[in-house]
Amino acid sequence: MAVIELQDVVKTFGATRALDHLDMSVVEGEVHGFLGPNGAGKSTAIRVLLGLLRTDSGTVRLLGGDPWRDAAPLHRRLAYVPGDVSLWPNLTGGEVIDVLARMRGGLDEARRSSLLERFELDPTKKARSYSKGNRQKVALVAALASRVDLYLFDEPTSGLDPLMEAEFQAAVRELREEGATVLLSSHILAEVEALADRVSIIRAGRVVQSGTLADLRHVTRTTVVAQTARPAAGIADLPGVHDLEVVDDRISMAVDSDQLEHVVAVLSGLGVRSLVAHPPTLEELFLRQYGEDVQV
Amino acid sequence: MTVSRSRSSSVTGVSHQLRLVARLDRVRLPLWVLGLGGTIAVSALAVPPLYDTPEKVAGYARVVGTSPVSHLMSGRQAGIDSLGGIVANEISQFAQLGVCLMVAFLVVRHTRAEEESGRAELLRSTVLGRHAATVAGLAYGVLAAVLIAAVTTVSMLSVGLPVAGSLTYGAGLALLGVVHTAVTLVAVQLSSTARGALGLAGAVIALGYVVRGVGAVQDNALVWASPFGWAQRMDAFGGEQWWPALLLLAATALLLAASGWLMTRRDFGGGVLAARPGRPTARRGLATPFGLSARLRRGTALGWAVGLTLLGALYGAVVPSIPELVESNPEMADVVGAAAGGEALVDAFLAYIFLFMAVVSCGFAVSAVLRLRAEEEAGRAELVLGTPVRRSAWLGATAAFTFLVTAVLTVLMGAGLAVGYALGSGDWEHLTGHVGGQVAYLPGTLVVGAVAVALHGAVPRAGALAWALLAYVAVQVMLGELLGLPDWAEAVSPYSHLAEVPRESWEAWPSLALVVVAAALTAAGIAGFRRRDIASG
Ligand SMILES: Nc1ncnc2c1ncn2[C@@H]1O[C@H](COP(=O)(O)OP(=O)(O)OP(=O)(O)O)[C@@H](O)[C@H]1O
Ligand SMILES: [Mg+2]
């Protein structure tokens, strides 16, 4: 069942088209990575899902409801963490956590205190005196301490140190075990790689690619580095070979995944001395998606 | 590698900072000059035709020149028996308060507000001295004050007033602005928030203004305890004297030294007071829209409560001396009606004070509502509205808290006035009457607050128009007939529809109508708020 369903959604701000016929869906119980370059429309999409922004056209369904019309009742079932958290400067961190979680409909006291411990957060400090990472942690604890069906995270770990980042990843895994759904927008690829079941990549307001990481890798290129006994003539003309570089007996190239078998066969005919092939790292994947127009 | 220290001092980069200020305020400053200076000029030009014969001038001197209301609001103007004195007396209240508030707003905006937002941090990471922002703030405040003063002097000269008087008046006005620029520069060191700094500077301005007024009514040395008194005692149009200017300059120098000293003693972004740890958990009531709204505004509300109660008490203390003033001035009694005598004068005085204080309290209502805008732009409205809190509840709770506190402030002003009166006269019988009199003006204040709710809800970018309405109402109250506004323009002020209690007797219908208007505006604001996008952080 789809927990989030965006169909043909358009949102403009004056002349800027932030969402341009966006289609996307997140199914129940998955951790869905949401990726895209700066200004792609990730935050806008999340704010549409929160019912904070009204779309120009298209349909949006969230937890079976309309997030614009039924915002308040739907919010009982979700928790949200923005990427750049601003807190009320004269409230303590503990107060902010309670205010947000109780407004959401209550919080799990045991979970609250264990999260405070895990994230090493002092709840008696005034929000104005927190460091950036600690402000972020306040919002995270407020969200994680509520038991809800859906968690919307918009770059939730910006400013967290590596230990806290690991703590966050553990917490998200626990959420998934409990059956919750998570939409995680992030620029930290390792985080997405570690957590996400599926990812959607968005550019200029539209989803350019969506699927499991394995799927995504499949439609992209594998890097192949080989040393051959005989000169590698003719390789350049094979279908699906890109960025070929030949230095002495060493060749490196990027091969479309569906042509890999054929290319490897040709290579072995040349007498392979060494062969390294690795699927695209997420990084390569994104550089490709962010950087150029994509044909899926 | 060596670091060049040769040209680096604590004010390095002032010129860059000033250029940035000029760029950021290339609309704002001209608007202030146009709005404040323009209103002063229009008023100054309007006076001479009204007093075109020696008899009329003498009449003004006899009546207004001895009126306690005039003394309280504008002090004792020198040369009140000449056209120059009349012009100065008519514009003083508006011009002096206007200049002081202007410099406070402008200076806080470019010092503490920048620091609080974190933008100043970016700047300070460049080649910018520790005191550069302060010096730039000083230069900017001085520039703004001098511009307003120049407009004032030129408009005085243009209606043919004496040169010496016009220049002296302008100089006094400019110096008053300069002193309060320095006051603001101290305030921004003491408070770690822009709001707090503005509150502090505003309190000093209000105190100086009230002290001068009370001193002027009682005609005693108290006027010398206030910068407003010093500026006025330069005696423009009445045998000018320049030495009080030295007091203003000396005070400025002292305040600037204090500001610089404080600056070197605090952390960037910090105030003088260190933060203490607070509660690890929230009280039960805090996690409701009303509880949170109240908590975010309670400090401000408390400040206003203390300030307005004292203001009421000071004004109340003056009232008992009014009948004596009339007895010593038979001509005055003639004007206000011999039969009624002192009592009629007291009623007219009270009616004006009630109205004036009601307008002042609008400042709380508008700022409390428009704080929502800042909340929204900082991305905190998003946090709250991301929970099941309904939009109507969020805006409605803020409106409810604002109106409730506005009502409480109104009662406190009335009570302060009553107590001040009772202490001055030993007569405790008017307590309920004075509170009731002040409450009679509450519907007008509610409408101004409700306009802010409507604007924020429906057209958030235009929220500042609520301040414009308040400024307009204030101008009308301070300059009155002088502006010669047509009836429809007068009617824009909600107070124009209310009876001038206690000079006139209270009427139920207009009050009820205004309350209905306030409710309708609030409802419209909530309806608009449910339809629009929420701004992001
Ligand atoms: N309130 C607004 N008014 C005008 N334009 C806006 C507004 N909010 C977003 N935009 C524009 O919409 C586009 C998408 O912005 P959005 O914040 O959704 O990007 P993002 O994918 O979250 O980027 P980032 O990775 O930098 O957070 C951008 O071009 C942005 O400038
Ligand atoms: Mg974003």
Please report where in the chains the tokens 């409507």 appear, as a residue. Answer: B454
A148 interface with B at CB cutoff 8 Å: no
Q: What is the pLDDT of residue B330?
A: 62
Q: What's the sign of the alpha-carbon dihedral B458, B463, B465, B468?
A: positive
Q: For residue A272, list its beta bridge partners.
A: A228
∠ CA B105-B109-B114, nearest 5°, is 165
Residue A276 is classified by DSSP as E
CB contact under 8 A, A98 and B299: no
Name the residue of chain A whose CA is nearest to B379's CA: A86
Residue numbers in B near A94 (CB within 8 A): 278-282
Expressed in angstroms and rounded, the spacing between residue A28 Cα and the centre of ligand 1 is 27
Q: What is the pLDDT of residue B126?
A: 63
Q: What is the pLDDT of residue B331?
A: 59
Cβ–ligand 1 distance for A127 under 6 Å, the answer: no
What crossing angle do the helices spanning B342-377 and B465-479 adopt, rounded to 10°? 160
B280 vs A74, A89, A92: nearest CB: A92
Q: List A residues 49-88 in contact with B (Cβ-Cβ < 8 A).
A: 50-54, 71-76, 78-80, 82, 84-88
Q: What is the pLDDT of residue A294?
A: 41
CB contact under 8 A, B279 and A86: no
Q: What is the pLDDT of residue B299?
A: 87
What crossing angle do the helices spanning A93-103 and A132-144 adopt, rounded to 10°? 30
| Cβ atoms of B75 and B232 closer than 8 Å | yes
A173 interface with B at CB cutoff 8 Å: no
Q: What is the pLDDT of residue A72?
A: 84
Expressed in angstroms and rounded, the spacing between residue A290 Cα and the centre of ligand 2 is 15
Q: Where are the alpha helices (DSSP H) in B428-486?
A: 431-439, 442-458, 465-479
Q: What's the sign of the alpha-carbon dihedral A175, A181, A184, A190?
A: positive
Tell me the per-residue pLDDT of B454-471, one tens digit each, with 9 for 90 and over.
999 999 989 989 999 999
What is the separation of C-alpha B346 from the centre of its chain, rounded to a whole number of angstroms?
25
Contacts of A16 (CB under 8 A, 6+ apart): none
| Cβ atoms of A37 and A44 closer than 8 Å | no
What crossing angle do the helices spanning B132-158 and B14-24 adopt, rounded to 10°? 50
Tell me the per-residue pLDDT of B132-174, one tens digit each, with 9 for 90 and over.
889 999 999 999 999 999 999 999 999 999 999 999 999 999 9
Q: What is the pLDDT of residue B4?
A: 45
The backbone torsions φ and ψ at residue A234, rounded to the nearest 5 degrees and listed phi first, read 85, -15
Expressed in angstroms and rounded, the spacing between residue B375 Cα and the centre of ligand 1 is 19
Q: What is the pLDDT of residue A244?
A: 86
Give the dihedral of Cα atoms B485, B490, B493, B495; nearest 10 deg: 120
Looking at the complex, report in whole angstroms how far the Cα of residue B188 sits from the nearest Cα belonging to chain A. 17
User: What is the H or E stretch that residue B57 is in?
Assistant: helix B54-63
Pairing of strands A16-27, A2-13: antiparallel
Spell out, as residue ranges, where chain B has pLDDT lower than 50.
1-7, 338-339
Q: What is the pLDDT of residue B339?
A: 47
How far is residue B502's CA from residue B397's CA, in Å, rounded to a whole number?
33
CB contact under 8 A, B379 and A43: no
| Residue from A9, A16, A202 whose mutation best tests the ligand 1 pocket (most atoms within 8 A of CB) | A16
How far is residue B502's CA from residue B505's CA, in Å, rounded to a whole number?
6
A236 interface with B at CB cutoff 8 Å: no
CB contact under 8 A, A82 and B534: no
Residue numbers in A near B193 (CB within 8 A): 89
Expressed in angstroms and rounded, the spacing between residue A49 Cα and the centre of ligand 1 is 15
Task: Return per-residue pLDDT of chain A as tens, 296 residues.
Answer: 799 999 999 999 888 899 999 999 999 999 999 998 899 999 999 999 998 898 999 999 999 999 988 888 898 899 999 888 888 888 899 999 998 888 888 888 999 999 999 999 999 998 888 998 999 999 999 999 988 999 999 999 988 999 999 999 999 999 999 999 999 999 888 888 899 999 999 999 999 888 888 777 776 778 888 888 888 778 888 888 888 888 888 888 888 877 888 888 888 888 888 888 887 776 777 777 666 544 43
Type of residue found at B52: D
Name the residue of chain B whose CA is nearest to A81's CA: B383
Percent of chain B with pLDDT over 90: 62
| Cβ atoms of B182 and B92 closer than 8 Å | no
Q: For residue A80, list its beta bridge partners.
A: A152
| Cβ atoms of B484 and B400 closer than 8 Å | no
What is the end-to-end Cα distance of chain A in Å, rounded?
25
Q: Where are the alpha helices (DSSP H) in A155-270?
A: 162-177, 189-195, 213-218, 260-269
| Coil, helix or strand at residue A207 | strand
Residue numbers in A near B537 (CB within 8 A): 82, 84, 86
Type of residue found at A227: Q
Residues of B with CB under 8 A from a CB of A: 192-193, 275-282, 286-289, 292, 295-296, 299, 378-380, 382-391, 531-534, 536-537
How far is residue A91's CA from residue A95's CA, in Å, rounded to a whole number?
6
Closest CA to ligand 1's atom 5: A13
